[in-house]
A and B are shown apart, each in its own frame.
Chain A
């Protein structure tokens, strides 16, 4: 039997494993394997190899699934808390902004009245007014950043 036939048989056999064969090629291959002991041995050998490959024992470490389930649940809870905390922060921010805008004329009148009583120069009044707006926002940003730091630290401590 020629090398070309053996070579074709081996190629078709590999093809049958990887992507499958058409009916005519399958039939040719089966016929060849019946007639050629060498190719038949090679085919059996490869099938045995794949069978052994499929049977390679892999034992999942004891408790891995349970540990993973616990960790996933904890992460889900943390995410839910962060998400609800974030929503609350948005509500407070919007409410605070609205309140600030609506109360701005009153606050300015208060500053003007206090300035007149204390005889303060206008730049000091303006600076006070700016700080009246800026300080709460800066405190809020500080709180948010601090909270994020705590969250990421606790996430990194997870096993």
Chain B
């Protein structure tokens, strides 16, 4: 694993075009999904996907092989999302940079129908997909990194440049937000 990471770092330092081609193929699904979950806009996610790989090319020498490549990749993509959100004034995404500066998220108080019932009676994935866009981007992000990408808490903390305690707290709140938002999102 470490040898692979060192080989990868070496290739990135040399700007090996074949290596970059392979990485783009290998990570296309995960990176695009991450960007789409964060932005909620396919066209923007596509632009950012390309920009992320340009940054990987230009800053490949900064990858030190101490962390997983995907953590480094997601961190680059995240910074691009924050940059774009600041330029284009996407308020929901600006919260990624500083969520504490915004109003606390208030989950909808609709617990009449359990999440399970909804999931059984409706198109599960579609319901969740709709619901996802209703919860704040900083919760979507941690949920994706933890439960989709299956990154560890410390790896997520590395991607977000945050303490592990903050990551945990966002995960707990994100889970609550997802569960609470589902009835409304699927209604």
Contact = CB atoms under 8 A, between A and B. Distances in A.
A44 interface: yes
20 contacts: A14-B175, A18-B175, A41-B116, A45-B114, A46-B179, A48-B124, A49-B182, A53-B178, A56-B129, A57-B129, A61-B42, A67-B50, A69-B20, A69-B21, A69-B24, A72-B21, A72-B57, A73-B21, A75-B58, A76-B17
A66 to B, nearest CB: 9
A65 B24 contact: yes
Q: In terms of DSSP, what is the predominant structure of the interface of chain A? A: helix
A52 B116 contact: no
A151 to B, nearest CB: 14
Contact of B147 (A54, A68, A76): A54
Given A52-B125, A58-B29, A46 B115 contact: yes
Interface of A: 14, 17-19, 41-42, 44-46, 48-50, 52-58, 60-61, 64-65, 67-69, 71-73, 75-76, 79
Q: In terms of DSSP, what is the predominant structure of the interface of chain B? A: helix
Contact of A79 (B29, B58, B178): B58
Given A18-B168, A18-B172, A64-B46, A52 B24 contact: no
B175 A76 contact: no
